[in-house]
A = this chain, B = another copy of it.
C-alpha cells in the first residue's frame, strides 16, 4: 500500500514531483543547448556521440535501450552524424545483423570539445549547490529511476531480455 505523498483533494500540479522534474529537465536542456549555440549539434546528438565514445553503446539497438529512444528515430539521427563524418558504421562479420558504430577522428575531437562546454554549463547551473547537495540530488534521482524501472518494465529492456 503506497504512502500518501499526494492526495487527490489537495493535489496541486505545480507542486508535484512530475512538474518539478519536467521543468528542471526542460530548463537544463535549453541551458545546455544555448551554450552549444553555433556548434551545429543537438544535445541528443552529443549524448549519442558520448555513449559511442565511452563504449556504453556500440550499436543502434544499444543506444535505443540506453537512451530509451525510438529505433527509427535513432537510425535517422545516426544518418545525420554519419553524413557529417562524425561517426562510422561497420557491419559486424560475426553477426551480420548488427552494425557497429565508432567515432571518426574528427568525431572524437568534436565530442571532446563539447564536453568542456557541457561541464561548464552544468557547473554554472549547480553553482549555488554544495558538493553534498549535488551528491544527494544524484542519489535521490537514481533511487527514483530504479523504482520507475521496476514499474515500467519496457523501460529497462536490457534487464527484461536478461530475465527471459
Q: What string of 1s and 0s marks CB contacts (under 8 Å) between A124-164 and chain B?
A: 11111101011011101111110111011011000000000
Please state if B152 and A127 are interface contacts (CB–CB under 8 Å).
no
Stretch at the interface among A20-28, A71-79, A80-88, A94-102: A20-28
The answer to whether B145 touches A20 (Cβ under 8 A) is yes
Does A105 reach chain B (CB closer than 8 Å)? no
**Least Cβ–Cβ distance between A123 and chain B, in angstroms:** 4
A15 within 8 A of B: yes
- Is there contact, CB below 8 Å, between B144 and A137? yes
Q: Are B21 and A131 in contact (CB under 8 A)?
A: no
Contact at A7–B54, with CB atoms within 8 Å?
no
Residues of A within 8 A of B (CB): 2-8, 11-32, 34, 43, 47, 50-51, 54, 56, 68, 112, 115-116, 118-120, 122-129, 131, 133-134, 136-138, 140-145, 147-149, 151-152, 154-155
